[in-house]
Amino acid sequence: MPDALLTPELLRKLEQLQLLASRRARSSLRGERRSRARGQSVEFADYRDYTPGDDFRYLDWNLYGRLERLFLKLYEEERELPVRIFLDASESMNFGEPRKFDFARRVAAAMGYVALCSFDRVSVLPFPATRSGNGALTAEESAARGALRSVRGRKSALQFLKSLEALTAGGSVEFDATLRRGALEARHSGLAVVLSDFLDPAGYENGLNALLGRGFQVDIVQILSPEELNPAVFGDLRLVDAETGVIQEVTFGRYRLKHYQQTVQNYIQRLREFCQRRGIRFFVAPSNTPLEDLLLRQLRKAEVWA
């Protein structure tokens, strides 16, 4: 299995984990998750009164002997958990050392791998969906994106990781539109994971609210580069927006560093508070964060998985 995204040692650790969904799986497809649906599994759920036409095999005759009433035994049916990973692949994610996009792909690979090992269905939705000009999607990347639309089963993990490796970043972000479209297209709610720097001037509120409105449990990881959090370049600067091409000339002296850092922290805090008010699990990770620290310590402590 390729180790460009995840090392063999980390893969072995991830195989022992399972995503924890605070909401029961609602998919109509069989899997290994408990569901509110009542079916024919081995785990007892409840009783209900017998009605004509019910299957006699599920009558509790012991209870009938005590109460002289017919009750039907109900069992919890196991369903798969749909996991939709929204991966920011806009031009801004190419920034930083290490690149934000490389870190985001590794997190997507880890979360997808855990889900596949539990036989959950995984969809990775890179955005923007299309690009123009010289940055247009190649045939290889278009095929990789198609392959990531719906993946299930541990046997699919190798191709899943290869498809993630084929993705590139470019183009302008379409944050709210992508999340709204992803929410509407989903046949069933489940777990939505959003990996992005959340630096879209148009905001993020409508997109996240759309996922919540469709019944998704939402986890987000805000990924920023060390240079964005603590810039080391000072003087008269000519800044070019990576996505829009807008140019702005500024004078950035060391005396402004503290004010800049406070502005960044205020933005992160607003996003954190937005998530807390809506029950969204929020994590912020610089792109140089040791991957195991995020995956095996922070996400585990927050009970994203166990």
pLDDT at 23 over 70: no
Tens of pLDDT, residues 112-122: 999 999 889 99
pLDDT score for 235? 87
pLDDT score for 78? 56
The lowest-confidence range among 99-108, 135-144, 276-285 is 135-144
Alpha carbon distance 69, 207 (integer Å): 51
Domain 8-25+80-301 class, CATH top level: alpha beta
Q: Which of 20-29, 71-80, 117-126, 128-137 holds the top average pLDDT?
A: 117-126
pLDDT at 80 over 80: no
pLDDT at 297 over 70: yes
- 267-273 average pLDDT score: 98
Phi, psi of 127 (to 5 degrees): -140, 145
pLDDT at 215 over 90: yes
**Helices and strands counted in the chain (H then E):** 11, 10
- 87-94 average pLDDT score: 96
103 versus 119: which is more confidently predicted? 103
HSE-CB of 304 using CA atoms within 13 angstroms: 28
List all residues 6 or more positions away from 124 whose beta carbon is below 8 Å from its beta carbon.
Answer: 85, 87, 108, 112, 148, 149, 151, 163, 164
Tens of pLDDT, residues 160-201: 999 999 999 999 988 999 999 999 999 889 999 999 999 998
Q: Assess contact for 141 and 157: CB atoms under 8 A.
A: no
pLDDT score for 38? 42
- 19-25 average pLDDT score: 60
Q: In the chain, what are the domain boundaries?
A: 8-25+80-301, 31-79
Q: Pairing state of beta strands 30-49 and 71-79?
A: antiparallel
- 58-72 average pLDDT score: 85
- 214-233 average pLDDT score: 95
List all residues 6 or more positions away from 142 whose beta carbon is below 8 Å from its beta carbon.
Answer: none
pLDDT score for 69? 87
pLDDT above 70: percentage of residues in the chain: 89
193 versus 134: which is more confidently predicted? 193
pLDDT at 108 over 70: yes
pLDDT score for 76? 56
pLDDT score for 231? 92
| 9-48 per-residue burial string, b: 16 or more CB within 10 A, e: under 16 | ebbeebeebbbebeeebbbeeebebbbebeeeeeeebeee
pTM of model > 0.85 = no
- 297-301 average pLDDT score: 94
Q: Average pLDDT of the chain?
A: 87
pLDDT score for 31? 44
pLDDT score for 52? 81
Compute how many other C-beta atoms are within 10 angstroms of the C-beta atom of residue 270.
10
2 versus 225: which is more confidently predicted? 225
